[in-house]
């Protein structure tokens, strides 16, 4: 049986695909105020701005393609039982061929009802508009977990991490909880690898850092994992 490899990814994973990260220099949160575009209060106060922010992100996503890092993780399925847990709202892991992807913070290409959160739809094209309604007649909103909202996918993510034989982190500053706390659910002797040009703050022993961008870093990771398969 293949070993279970769990990979937590963040914005850095998609940086080489042309998607901006949030907290690096030139990151999205330098240009936008989180409280104005990524909170439930923002949606109530200024829904036009919130809608435009996510429409812009979605439009851009259609112009992006997976990078070598995404493809490298998908290839690891030949040797491991790979579960991706991503904070990213893009679909680049899926497009690269990864078959098990859990989205913690929602998905850009999906929308959901403002009144019935279980009514989730694939959006046709990039533009969500006012007047786009769910089947029960309520406005649709981006299917994104905003700051201050629950992260329901954590319920599935925690047991995945608990069962991991190997745990990998790629391209996240580990600033945002509860996602940033996931690695603490790993078993005592589970090897942990981190691929990121900047070392994120990890107070764990026995972490192997690969201080590279995802494209090169995932290739180096694959070499190191060979002996663990």
Q: Is 169 in the site for ligand APR (CB under 6 A)?
A: no
Q: Is 214 in the site for ligand APR (CB under 6 A)?
A: yes
Among 58, 70, 103, 105, binds ligand APR (CB under 6 A): 105
Q: Which residues pair with 140 in a beta bridge?
A: 113
Nearer to ligand APR, 137 or 201 (CB): 201
Q: How wide is the angle at C-alpha 63 spanned by C-alphas 222 and 172, nearest 5°? A: 40
The region of 75-83, 116-124, 149-157, 169-177 touching ligand APR under the rule CB under 6 A is 169-177
DSSP designation for 188: T
For residue 141, give the nearest of 123, 125, 168, 153 by alpha carbon: 123
CA atoms within 13 A on the CB side of 7: 31
Q: Is 142 in the site for ligand APR (CB under 6 A)?
A: no
> What is d(CA 103, CA 92) in angstroms, rounded to the nearest whole number?
12
User: What's the token pair of residue 81?
Assistant: 């039982």
Nearer to ligand APR, 75 or 165 (CB): 75
Which residue, chain included where needed, has tokens 């104005």?
A: 36
Q: Is 15 in the site for ligand APR (CB under 6 A)?
A: yes
Catalytic residue among 105, 138, 143, 184: 105
For residue 126, give the nearest of 90, 169, 80, 86 by alpha carbon: 90
Examine the residue annotation and report whether 105 is marked as an active-site residue of this protein: yes
Among 6, 12, 72, 91, binds ligand APR (CB under 6 A): 12
User: What's the token pair of residue 62?
Assistant: 């259609």
Among 2, 175, 187, 211, binds ligand APR (CB under 6 A): 175
Catalytic residue numbers? 105
Binding region for ligand APR (CB under 6 A): 10-12, 15-16, 21-24, 27, 87, 105, 171-173, 175-176, 196-198, 200, 213-214
């Amino acid at each position: 049986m293949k070993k279970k490899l769990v990979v937590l990814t963040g914005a850095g994973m998609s940086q080489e695909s042309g998607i901006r990260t949030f907290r690096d220099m030139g990151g999205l949160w330098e240009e936008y105020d989180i409280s104005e575009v990524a909170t439930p209060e923002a949606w109530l106060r200024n829904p036009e701005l919130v809608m435009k922010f996510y429409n812009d992100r979605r439009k851009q996503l259609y112009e992006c393609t997976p990078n070598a890092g995404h493809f490298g993780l998908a290839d690891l399925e030949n040797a491991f039982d790979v579960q991706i847990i991503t904070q990213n709202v893009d679909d680049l892991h899926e497009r690269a061929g990864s078959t098990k992807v859990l989205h913690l913070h929602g998905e850009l290409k999906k929308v959901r009802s403002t009144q019935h959160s279980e009514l989730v739809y694939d959006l046709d094209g990039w533009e969500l508009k006012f007047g786009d309604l769910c089947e029960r007649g309520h406005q649709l909103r981006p299917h994104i977990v905003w700051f201050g909202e629950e992260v329901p996918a954590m319920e599935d993510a925690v047991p995945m991490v608990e069962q991991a034989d190997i745990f990998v982190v790629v391209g996240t500053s580990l600033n945002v909880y509860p996602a940033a706390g996931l690695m603490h659910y790993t078993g005592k002797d589970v090897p942990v690898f981190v691929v990121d040009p900047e070392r994120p703050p990890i107070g764990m022993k026995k972490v192997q850092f690969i201080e590279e961008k995802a494209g090169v870093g995932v290739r180096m990771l694959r070499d190191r994992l060979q002996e663990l398969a």
